[in-house]
Structure 1
C-alpha cells in the first residue's frame, strides 16, 4: 500500500525532521480550539443568555445551541474531505487552518455583539460550522505527519487540549470575572489567531501541488462520509468516543446552572466556585493524560485504557446524586477528571489506528471528529431537555447510562488492544 504522496508507509516513519516543531505547535492548535468550545460553550454562552433574558433560562440556552450540532456534523467530514483534495505550496491543511480562523473570528465578533437569543444561536452556529473545519484540518495532521510509533505520545499531547483550555478558562474567569460579560470573546479570537499562525508557519508542511488527486464525483463524495462507518472497528471507535465525550460534557457544560439550582450555591459565589471546581478537575485530567499517554505507547494497550475510562466515568457520576453538596462536586470533579484524562490520553491513538483509507485521512478523521466535537456542542441542548423533562437527577442518570454504553462500544473494537 502507498500513502497519498505515493511513498511507502515507512517513508512517513522517516520524516522525523518535521516532527520536532509539531510537538509544540500541534497541541497548541488543539488547545486553542478547545479554549473556544469550553470558554464560549461552558462559560460565555450561559452568561450571555443570562444577560439577554435576565434569568437562568434553560429553554433559551437550549435554543442557542439547537443548530450548532448539525453544523458540526456537516463541517468536520466535509472540510476534512476538501482538505484531502487541496493542493497548495503550503500543503493540504494550512489553507483551511488559516482560512477557517479568519472567518471564525468574524463569526465570533458577531456573536459577541448578539442582542437576542435568536441572533446568539445563529452566530454560535456559524462559529461551530467554520471552526469545525479548522478542527478537521489540525486533527488530520497527526496521521499525515506523525509516525505510528509516536501515536500514543501525540494522542496524549492532543488530550491535553481539553484540560489546559479549561484550566486557562477557569483561571481567566476566576481572576477576571468581568470578562464573562463579553470581553472573553476577544481573548478567544486572539488565542485562535496566534495558534493558527504558529502551526502553519513554525511547523510547515510540504508542498502538495504535485500530489495526485482523485476525480471529483458528487455521488462518491457524499458516499465517502458513510463508507468508513461500515468498517467494524471504525464504527465502534466512533460510537465509543461519542458516548464517552457526551457523558462527560452533558454535566460539564451545564455546571453554572447545576451549581445554582441543584447544589444551591448562592448566585454571587457561583462563578468563582465553578472556576475552582473546573480548575481542580482539569488538573486531575492533565495529570492523568501525561501519565497514561507515554505508558500506553510503552504497553500498546489503547483499548484497555479507554474501557477503564468509560467504566470509571459511570461510577463517578453517582457521587453528586448521593452527595449533592459543593464538597461532593469537588470529589466528583477530581475523580471524573482522572477518568476522562485516561480516555483523552489514548483517544487519538485509538482512532488513528482504525482509519480505513490512507488516502482520505482528513475526511475519515473529520467523521471521527463528529464524535468529539458533536457531543461537546450538543451537550448543552441535550442537558437542557433532560433537566426540563426530569430535573438534574435525570441528567446524571442519563450520563451514567451513556458512559456504560460507550464502554460496551469500546469493548467491541477488535483490531486494537
Structure 2
C-alpha cells in the first residue's frame, strides 16, 4: 500500500488511523553500502557498554565499595539496572516508530540516547554506594536500551530480506568486538599467552575505574554521530501519522502469542539462549577468582584473555555462517547446532575446572555463540508481526536480552548457594539447549 499527500497539505498535518498504516517495509535506501560498516560499529559501541561496564567496571566498583567480591551486592546492582532496561527497549522502540523527522524515525533517538547515556555513564563513575550504583546503572541501561531499540530497527527498516543473514552476522559482531575492546583496554591480556613479556593493553589499570566510564561514554557518542551521518536514514515526514492514544500506546506493547505464535517462540528461544549465556557470564570474574583460583594480580588479565579468545571465535563463526545462511536459505539448523554446541562447551569446565578448561570452554562456546549470532537477527526479522511497528517489536524482542540480565544474577546466586560455582555450568547448559529447541515450532522460518 502506498500513501500520497493531499494537495497543499504539508507532511506534518497528515493523520491516519493505526489500522490504515502501511504494513509493507519501507523502501530500501539506494546506499546500503555504508550500513555494512556503520551498523556493526554502532553495535560495538553499545556492547562496549554492556560488556565493559557489566563484566569489568561494575564488579570492580562493587568490590571497591564493599571491600570484597560481594556476589549479593553485584546481583542487586545488576538486577536494578536490568529491570529498567526491560522497560526502556519497547518504550523507546515505539516512540521511534511514531517519530516523523527529516532525519528519519530512528536517528533522533539514536543521537539523543547516546548523548544522555554518555552523561549517565559519567554519573555512574562517581556512585559511592551499592544503592547509587544500582540506580545509576539502571538509568544507563534504560537510556541505552532506547539507543538499542532504534538501532536494531534499522535492519527491518532498511535491509532487503536476501541480505538478512549477512547483516545478522554484522549486527552480531557487536558482542564479540565490544568484548575484545573492553578486555584489551580495561583488563589487558598476559603477553606470555603470545610469547611476549608484560601485559598487552590494560594500560596499568588506567581504565579500570572512572576513566573507563569516560572512555566508553565518548565512544558511544562518536559511534552514534558516525552512524547517522555516514548512513543517514530516509526523511520520515511524509509517513502517515497515528492519532495518539495513551491506552493504545500501552496496549500496543502486548504481542498476542496466539495471533503471532512464531514471534512468541522466537522470543522464548532467544530468552533461553541468552539466559544460559548470562548465567555464567554474570559471575565470570568471581568464578575465576573463587572456583578456578586465579591469583588476584592475574585476575583481570586472565579474564581479558579468555574473553578475547571467546570473542575472536565468535567473530570467525559469525562471519562464516551469516553468508552461508543467506545462500542456503535456512536458519533453524544453525540455531539448533549452536544450542547443542553451547551445551557441550559448558561441560568442559565442569569436568576440567582449571584455566585450561576455561580456555577450551571459551573456544568452543565462542564458536557456538558465533553461529547463533549469525542467524539470530535474521530469524527475528522474519517473524516480526508488522514492519510498521518494527521499532516497538524489536524492543519487545530485546526484552529477551534484558530479561536474562534480571534473572541471571538471582538464578546464579541460588545455584552457587545450593551447589557451588561448579553447578553453574550444567544449569546453563540445560537452559541454553532448551532455548535453542524453542526455534523448532517457528513455521515461517526454515
> Separation in 1 of the partners of 2:278 and 2:31?
34
Task: Identify the match of residue 119 of structure 1 among 132, 151, 154.
Answer: 132
Q: CA deviation at 1:382?
A: 3.5
Contact 1:65–1:381 (Cα < 8 Å) also in 2: no
Q: Does 1:186 align with 2:199?
A: no
Answering whether residue 427 of structure 2 is matched by residue 398 of structure 1, we say yes
Q: Aligned partners of 1:244 and 1:81: how far apart in 2? A: 25
- Cα distance in 2 for residues equivalent to 1:189 and 1:106: 7
**Distance change (3 Å), C-alpha of 1:18 and 1:157:** same
Are residue 109 (structure 1) and residue 122 (structure 2) matched? yes
Partner of 1:214: 242
Look up the match of 1:346. Answer: 375
Deviations 1:309-347 (A, max 9, x none): 111111111111100000000000000000000000001
1:201-258 deviations in Å (ceiling 9; x for gaps): 1111121112111222222222221125441110111111111111112212321100
Paired residue for 1:203?
231
Q: Is the 8 A contact 1:237 1:350 kept in 2?
A: yes
Worse overlay, 196-205 or 169-178: 169-178
Between structure 1 and structure 2, the one with the greater Rg is 2
Match of 2:68 in 1: 55
What is the rounded CA distance, in whole Å, between the counterparts of 1:70 and 1:198 in structure 2? Answer: 30
Give yes or no for the alignment of 1:223 onto 2:281: no
| 2:161 is the counterpart of 1:148 | yes
Deviates more, 1:211-220 or 1:50-59: 211-220
Q: Which range is displaced more, 208-217 or 270-279?
A: 208-217
Q: 1:396 offset after TM fit, Å?
A: 1.6
Alpha-carbon distance between aligned partners in 1 of 2:77 and 2:171, rounded to the nearest angstrom = 28
**TM-score, normalised via structure 1 length:** 0.95
TM-score normalized by the length of structure 2: 0.89
Query: Can you list the C-alpha shifts for 1:374-403, whole angstroms capped at 9, x where unaligned?
Result: 324653343234323432133222201211
Q: Once superposed, what is the RMSD of the aligned Cα atoms? A: 1.9
Given that 1:69 and 1:377 are in contact with CA atoms closer than 8 Å, whether structure 2 keeps it comes out as yes
CA distance in 1 between counterparts of 2:90 and 2:251 reads 11
Q: 2: distance between equivalents of 1:63 and 1:376?
A: 11
Q: Deviations over 1:121-173 (max 9, x none)?
A: 01000001111000000000111111111111100000111011111111112
Equivalent position to 1:12, from 8, 27, 32: 27
Shift in Å at residue 81 of structure 1?
Answer: 0.6
Structure 2 Cα separation of the partners of residues 80 and 322 of structure 1: 43
* Residues 168-183 of structure 1 mapped to structure 2, 5 A cutoff: 168-172=181-185, 173-174=187-188, 175-176=201-202, 177-183=205-211
Query: How many angstroms does 1:67 deviate by?
Result: 1.4
**Offset at residue 8 of structure 1 (A):** 9.0
Q: How far apart, CA to CA, are the structure 1 residues paired with 2:436 and 2:256?
A: 21
Distance in 1 (alpha carbons) for counterparts of 2:267 and 2:2: 25
The aligned residue for residue 441 of structure 2 is 412
Higher helix share: 1
SS in 1 for 2:241: coil
> Whole-Å Cα distance in 2 between the matches of residues 180 and 80 of structure 1?
32
The answer on whether the counterparts of 2:79 and 2:406 sit within 8 Å (CA) in structure 1 is no
Counterpart Cα distance in 2 of 1:21 and 1:54: 47
1:128 to 122, 127, 141: 141
Cα separation, partners in 2 of 1:211 and 1:9, compared to 1, 3 Å? closer
